[in-house]
Structure formats: structure tokens, C-alpha cells
Structure 1
Amino acid sequence: MLYWLLFEKLQSVYSPFRLFGYVTFRTAFALLTALLISLLLGPWMIRKLRAMAIGQFIREDGPKSHETKAGTPTMGGLLIVISILVPTLLWANLRNVQVWIAMWSLVGFGAIGFYDDYTKLKKMRNLGLTAKQKFFLQVLVAMSIGFILLLLSAKGMYSTAMNVPFLKSFKPDLIITSLAQNPWTFALAFAPFYLFMILVIVGSSNAVNLTDGLDGLAIGLMIIASSAMTALCYLAGHREFATYLELQRVPGGSELTIFCATMIGASLGFLWYNAHPAEVFMGDVGSLALGGSMGTVAVLIKQELLLPFIGGVYVIELLSVVLQVGSYKLRGKRIFKMAPIHHHFEMLGWKESKVIARFWICGLIMALFALATLKLR
């Protein structure tokens, strides 16, 4: 909105408005705007959530130290979503379709999380939507994003080929063109693409959701991951940097740096209130929205296979749940004292603050490694 008004319309009247044409300038101000909205709106939203008795229900089988958190306001993720959407609408070039796709992912997964949180409150327990219901809705949103990307691919605005870390010349296409020639197998040609979209976007959404179990853990890791994604978006959209690093250039991808910067700012502001001991929890409305958005941005800039490194701790948390459930069903034995894995360390006697700090350190190391791989090709 400000890009259109101040740069496209008014720069000829007042030359300093040319600054609004620089994505780096708008990225910095988008981050600050998101941070201010989150900090200023936070106290009001916390009061409203308390007044409406929207409190967190605690797992009965969880660590006993968490029982004191019962009743803490939840659904604070609404603050995160607002703090991302408003600055993005203000500072991004809204003619860029990738920005709208990222915002749709944020709103779509946020709506699923909101419905899940609302269901928990209605039932007065820590279980909202069933796993199948939640997964079905998440798949619908992911497939809608995949469908839009296929339309863009047909116009030459998106590539369905994968970027593989360490292998610059190996770029397998997710669409089987040979099957697309036959009307009987036409649908099967797009199956790998849709399955990959579901794996990346839904997997990312659920990974962040499962990590959100300790005060500030998930949101702190999101600051780290979003920072790495901001850098990758800028590099992917910059002609010289993309050529130098032998990345697949994504025209207009640099506008996504603004979206990712708002995620940093919104997360920083939310961490102010979510740090241990938390005054508010993000709930599924926040965790699903942030995770789905991060996965969507990775898909848009063709860095899907770097995402497991950027969000390495999220992946470990997700895998710990998968392994725990699989082991119990197949062998009748548990691998961890409790899953997700952050609760395992709590059961070993680690203080909550120590688990959070050490997981943040691990997340930072993994994100830096992911950025380092850009030259290991």
C-alpha cells in the first residue's frame, strides 16, 4: 500500500520517496512495524483474552511443573497473525502474487488453528479437532497453494523443478511430463508435486505446532528460522547474488523478504510476553500459521530441502513424536520418557529455561549451517 502510494505515485513529486522502491528499506521498516504492533497491541489482547476466560488447558500426563500454567491466556497467535498481515499489506508490493500466496498460507493455517483452539475451549479440555480433521484441513490449504503454483508454472512464473543442496546440476522435476501426455494418466503426472507440497507445508505447520510446548521455545526458534528465510528470499530474488551462488533465481522473490521480516518482528514482539514465565500462549492459531507460512515461503523460493536444516529443531521435535508413536504401536515400548522431545529432557530433570536456551542454540547452529551450504555446491 505504501509502496504503491509513496513510490509509484509520489516519488516524482518528492524524490526522497524513491527509498520506498528499495526492498531492503521496506524490509527494515516492515520488521519494525510488526514489532511495534506486537508490543503495543499485546497488553490489550492479553487483557481481552483473560476477560473472555480464554485459558490454556494442560495435558494431564505432562510434567507436573506445567500445572501452574493452567488458565494462562491462549490464542495469542491472533496477535502474531495481525502483526504479520498489517505490515505486509503496508510495505510489500501487492502486485506480487507470491506475497499474496504467503499471506493466504498464514490466514488459511491460522484459521485451522483458530477453529482447533475454539474447539478446545468449547470442550473444556486439551483436545480440539481430531488428528484426522486437522490433517484434512491442512491438506486442503496446502493443495490450494499447490494448485495456484501450477497455474503460475503454466505461465512461466514458477518452476516445479527441485533445488537439491550440494548438487547444483541435479534438479528433478516434480511433474512427470510423460504421464501428462496421456489423458488417462494426466492426474498422476501431478501427484508427486502435490504430495511434495503436502509434505513440506503441512509437515512444517505440524512441526512448529508440536514444538510449542514450553514458554518461548517455538517463537524463539521462529525468530531464528525467519531470519534465515529472510536472507534466502533476498538472495533468491537478487539477480547477481542468485547467479553468484548458483541459486535458482525467483523473480519477485525479494518481496518475500518483507513478509519474512514481519515474521521476525511479530515473533520478537510476541516473545516479550511469551518468555518464561509466559503471560500468554500462541495456541494453534499461531503455531500452525507460522509453520505453514514458513513451509510456503520455502516452496516459493525453491529451498524446500534446506528447510529441514533451517528449522532443524522443529524437525527433531516432529520426528520424536513419530518415532514415539510408531515404537509404541509396533513394539509396545516408548523410546523417550515423553514426546515431543523437549518434555523428555524435562523428565530427565532439566529446568524449562535450560531446555529452551539449549534448543535455541541448536536451532541457531542448524540455521547457520543451512546458510553455509549455499557455497557448498
Structure 2
Amino acid sequence: MIFILAKMAGFEGVLNLFRYITFRSGAAVMTALIIALWIGPRFILWLKGKQGKGQPIRSDGPASHLLTKKGTPTMGGLMILISMTVSTVLWMDVTDGFTWACLFVTLGFGAIGFMDDYDKVVKRSAKGVSGRIRLLLEFVIAGAAVWYIGTRDGHTLYLPFLKDAGLYLGFGYIIFGAFIVAGFGNAVNLTDGLDGLATMPVIIAALTLGVIAYVAGNIRFSDYLGIHHVPGSGELAVFVGALIGACLGFLWFNAPPAAVFMGDTGSLALGGALGTIAVVTNHEIVLLLIGGLFVLETVSVIVQVVSFKTTGKRVFKMAPLHHHYEQLGWSESTVVIRFWIVSLILALAGLSTLKLR
């Protein structure tokens, strides 16, 4: 919004700063952070008043969680969505369709997560909305966004490590892209099981994807690196900046011991955002490396379920993977920090693929 006003004024004087994506991205970080820190205490008090006993704790999870996390309110993801959305709209180029597509998926997935969290709080059950209904809604939202993105940049899946090598998938690309977006929404949701565990890896992955979006949107950088040029994708750096600022503000209150949980409202939205950025930048496969921690958490659940149903035996002491390490005796803070380190390493590995062409 500010960008358009500055453009109408001809970017005269100090307004010339608003021409640059890097400046507006930094401003988006600070704006979202300030909003989240400002509304945080009041929002948490409001959630406590509305939810009473807080989020129901899974009975099949670690026994310690029934004591340490009991009474903590959920739906803190609303803090992230509010501060991120306000900051994004304030600093983005409102004519950029890719940013609106990312906001559409993020808020849409956030709404699905909100329904799930609300159902859990009202019914005092950890089950929430039916998994089939959730997946159906997620694929509808993701499919619509991927279809729109495809109309602007084609329906080709570009392969990493190869210069401008891609597979034209046609309509199949919409199905593939929707699977990536919905899959990452649920992957982040599975990872969000310990205080601060999902938030920092989301920040790390978002920052990495923001860099990729910026260079993919710049013809000189994309040509030098040998990656597919996506006109307009650089504007997503502003969206990423707002997302990072909002997550940092939330993490201030979610640091152990958490004063609030993001819930499905936040985790589904953040995962969907990561998946959508990857689709816009044609880095869907690289996302599997950048967000490798979320992939590992998801795979651990799949392996556990398949193994138990086919052999009656469990591969892990408990799934998702972070609970397995808790059962091995690692403290919650140890699991969280070590998983952050793994996430950073994987993100750096994903970033290195930009030059491996």
C-alpha cells in the first residue's frame, strides 16, 4: 500500500527508498514484529479468558506434557496471521499477484486450522475436525492457488542441479503443486509439538525461500545462477519478511515455558505459506531439502503407522520424531535446539543448490 502511494508521488526524495524490495522487506519484518509484541500480552489474556482450561493435551503423547503443558491456551497462530497480514499489505506492491496467492493460501489454511482448534477447545478433545474434511479443504485452496500461479508462469516442474531443465506437467502440475502445499501445511503441523520447535525452522526455511524468490525475480541474478526467472517473484521477499517478523514476535511468547501455542491455526498456515512460495519460485523439490526437518517428522509418522499396522511393532518409541528423542531421555530444550541446528544445516544445503547447475 505504501509502495503504491510512493509510486504515485513519483518516488521523490526519501520516498525513493520504497522503490527497493530490500528496504520494504526489512520494514515488513520490523512492522510485523512490533505488532506481534504489542498485541501478544492482551491477546494471550483474551485467549485464556475464552478457553479456560486451554488446549486439550494428547493422551497418547509424552506423559510429562499432561502436567507441563496443561492449561496453556492455543490459537496463538492468530497473532502471527494478524501481524503478518497487516505488515504484508502495508509494504507490498498490491498489484503483485504472487503475494496475494501466498496470502490466500496462508489465510485459508489458517481458517481451516482455526476450525480445528475451535472444535478441540469446545469439545475438550484432541481430535478436532475430521482429517478427510481438512484435507479436502486444503486441496481445494491449494489447487486454486497453484492453478492461478500456473496461469502466470506455466505448468512446468523445474529440476534442481540442471540449468533450465524442466518437465511440462500440464494439469498434472496443479495436482502436484497442491500436494506440495497441503503436504507442507500438515508437515509443519506435525512438527509443532514442543515449545518453539516449529517456529524457528519455519523462520529459517522462509528466509531461505525469500532469498530464492528474490534472485529468481531478478533477471541478472537468475541468469547468473542458471535458475528459472520468475518475473514478480522478488516481491515475495516482502511477504517473507512479514512472516519472519510475525514468527519472531510469536516466539517471544512461545519460548519455553510457552505462554501460548500456535495451534493448527498457525502451523497449517505457515506450512502452506512455505509450500506456496516454493511453487511460485519453481523450487518445489528443493523445498524438500530446505524443509527437510518437516519431511523427517512426517516420514517418522508414516513409518510408525505402516510398521505397526503390518508387523505390530513400532520403529520409534513414539512419533513424530521429536517425541522419540524425548522418550530417549532428551530434555525438551535439547530436542528443540538440536532440531533448530538440523534445520539450519538443511536450509544451507538447499541454498547451495542455487549454484549447483
Query: If the length of structure 1 is used for normalisation, what is the TM-score?
Result: 0.92
* Structure 2 contact 155–174 (Cα < 8 Å) conserved: no
Aligned AA (2:352): A
Correspondence for 2:93: 93
* Structure 2 contact 88–242 (Cα < 8 Å) conserved: yes
Correspondence for 1:255: 235
* Aligned equivalent of 1:30, options 23, 28, 31: 28
* Aligned equivalent of 1:349, options 300, 318, 329: 329
* Aligned equivalent of 2:156, options 129, 141, 161: 161
CA distance in 2 between partners of 1:142 and 1:25 (Å): 30
CA distance in 2 between partners of 1:263 and 1:336 (Å): 33
Q: What is the CA distance between 1:53 and its match in structure 2?
A: 2.0
Q: Describe how 1:188-267 pairs up with structure 2 within 5 A.
A: 190=171, 192-267=172-247
Q: Describe how 1:1-377 pairs up with structure 2 within 5 A.
A: 1-5=1-5, 7-11=6-10, 14-53=12-51, 55-68=54-67, 69-150=69-150, 152=151, 157-175=152-170, 190=171, 192-377=172-357
Q: What is the CA distance between 1:198 and its match in structure 2?
A: 2.4
Aligned AA (2:94): L
SS of the equivalent of 1:67 reads: helix
CA shift digits 1:253-310 (9 cap, x unpaired): 1100000111111111111000111000000000000000110011011111110111
SS of the equivalent of 1:172 reads: strand
CA shift digits 1:161-216 (9 cap, x unpaired): 112111224311111xxxxxxxxxxxxxx2x2232022210110000000000000
Q: What is the CA distance between 1:136 and its match in structure 2?
A: 1.1
SS of the equivalent of 2:158 reads: coil
CA distance in 2 between partners of 1:21 and 1:235 (Å): 17
Aligned AA (1:285): T
| CA RMSD, Structure 1 to Structure 2 (Å) | 1.1
After TM superposition, the runs of 4+ consecutive aligned structure 1 residues lying more than 3 A away are: none
CA distance in 1 between partners of 2:313 and 2:59 (Å): 20
CA shift digits 1:70-92 (9 cap, x unpaired): 11010000000011100110000
Gapped regions of structure 2 (runs ≥ 5): none
CA distance in 2 between partners of 1:359 and 1:100 (Å): 31
CA distance in 2 between partners of 1:344 and 1:130 (Å): 26
CA distance in 2 between partners of 1:325 and 1:140 (Å): 26
CA distance in 2 between partners of 1:197 and 1:375 (Å): 24
Q: 1:276 and 1:283, CA in 2 relative to 1: closer, same or farther beyond 3 A?
A: same
CA distance in 2 between partners of 1:364 and 1:146 (Å): 28
CA distance in 2 between partners of 1:311 and 1:247 (Å): 20
CA distance in 2 between partners of 1:241 and 1:197 (Å): 25
Gapped regions of structure 1 (runs ≥ 5): 176-189
SS of the equivalent of 2:285 reads: coil
Query: If the length of structure 2 is used for normalisation, what is the TM-score?
Result: 0.97
SS of the equivalent of 2:264 reads: helix
Identity between Structure 1 and Structure 2 (%): 47
CA distance in 2 between partners of 1:122 and 1:52 (Å): 10
Q: Which moved more, 1:127-136 or 1:275-284?
A: 127-136
Correspondence for 1:179: none
Q: Which moved more, 1:284-293 or 1:57-66?
A: 57-66
* Structure 2 contact 189–268 (Cα < 8 Å) conserved: yes
CA distance in 1 between partners of 2:232 and 2:17 (Å): 18
Q: What is the CA distance between 1:323 and its match in structure 2?
A: 0.8
CA shift digits 1:84-105 (9 cap, x unpaired): 1001100000001111101001
Q: What is the CA distance between 1:121 and its match in structure 2?
A: 1.2
Correspondence for 1:181: none
CA distance in 2 between partners of 1:169 and 1:308 (Å): 19
SS of the equivalent of 1:374 reads: coil
Aligned AA (2:39): L
